[in-house]
Amino acid sequence: MDSSGIRPTSPFALPSTKGVEKAAAVDSVSAAGSGKEDNKDQLNFSPGSLRGILDKLDLFGAEPRADGSINIEDIRANYAQRFEDFAGKLSALLKKTGIDRGCASILRSDGQGKIRVANNHPQRENIEALFENNPELANEFRGLSGTASFLRAADEHSKFAAAYAKDPEAAVRMFSHLFDETGTRDYAMRITSDDIMGFFE
């Protein structure tokens, strides 16, 4: 497990609460969208499919524009705001329950709906109990995980498409991890004494 934060080569730098203004937390990720407007990437859906997607996914909090498109920056901005709100709630709960943030803890979903501490924190059970006793907080974590994974995939696809247009064989070699499910990295959060940040393990 890579617990050193955002890897230098990570295409999607996730927001951190440490001295970061909301605008700075919204890093540049280009979409794999099908349309552009004023050099801004966007995702476009046909009118018939858009309603179903809205109902099922809520499009990660982004509202469709007048032309029916969903702009990736709207999704990213919504993610940054949700992350900030989540970090505030979690920080308050950690303080209220007396959990020591001096020892870093790493959170991730166990794939079965539970939020687990992935490292040997001395208050591991107490931290996990916070999410057990606050299901809405656990839902927010899972929502952030899904959105971050979507944004990361969009960026990876965009970079692959650009490289493929120049040299297909080189692009397939360079982005071989996209075709290998064993190379998938999981979303996680690190909590330290003065920071909460998202990253991919």
Please report which confidence band the pLDDT of residue 16 belongs to, taking 50, 70 and 90 as the band edges. Answer: low
Q: Which residue has the higher pLDDT, 70 or 166?
A: 166
Which pLDDT score is estimated for 182? 61
Which pLDDT score is estimated for 84? 96
**What pTM, to 2 d.p., does this model score?**
0.68
Q: Share the mean pLDDT of the chain.
A: 76
**Contact at 8 Å (CB) between 175 and 156?**
yes
CB hemisphere CA count around 169 (13 angstroms): 0
CA torsion, ordered 193, 6, 106, 189, to nearest 10 deg: 90
Three-state DSSP at 31 gives: coil
For residue 53, what are the CA distances in angstroms to 11, 13, 176, 182? 26, 26, 29, 28
pLDDT tens digits for 150-197?
898 888 888 888 998 999 899 888 888 777 766 567 899 999 999 999
- Burial bucket for residue 51 (CB in 10 Å: 0-12, 13-18, 19+): exposed
pLDDT exceeds cutoff 50 at 12: no
pLDDT tens digits for 91-141?
999 999 999 999 999 999 998 889 999 999 999 999 999 999 999 999 999
Write the CB contacts of 73 (distance below 8 Å, at least 6 apart in sequence): 26, 40, 41
pLDDT exceeds cutoff 90 at 41: no
User: Averaged over 10-33, what is the pLDDT?
Assistant: 38
DSSP class of 131: H
Place of tokens 């203004």: 21
pLDDT exceeds cutoff 50 at 11: no
**Contact at 8 Å (CB) between 75 and 147?**
yes
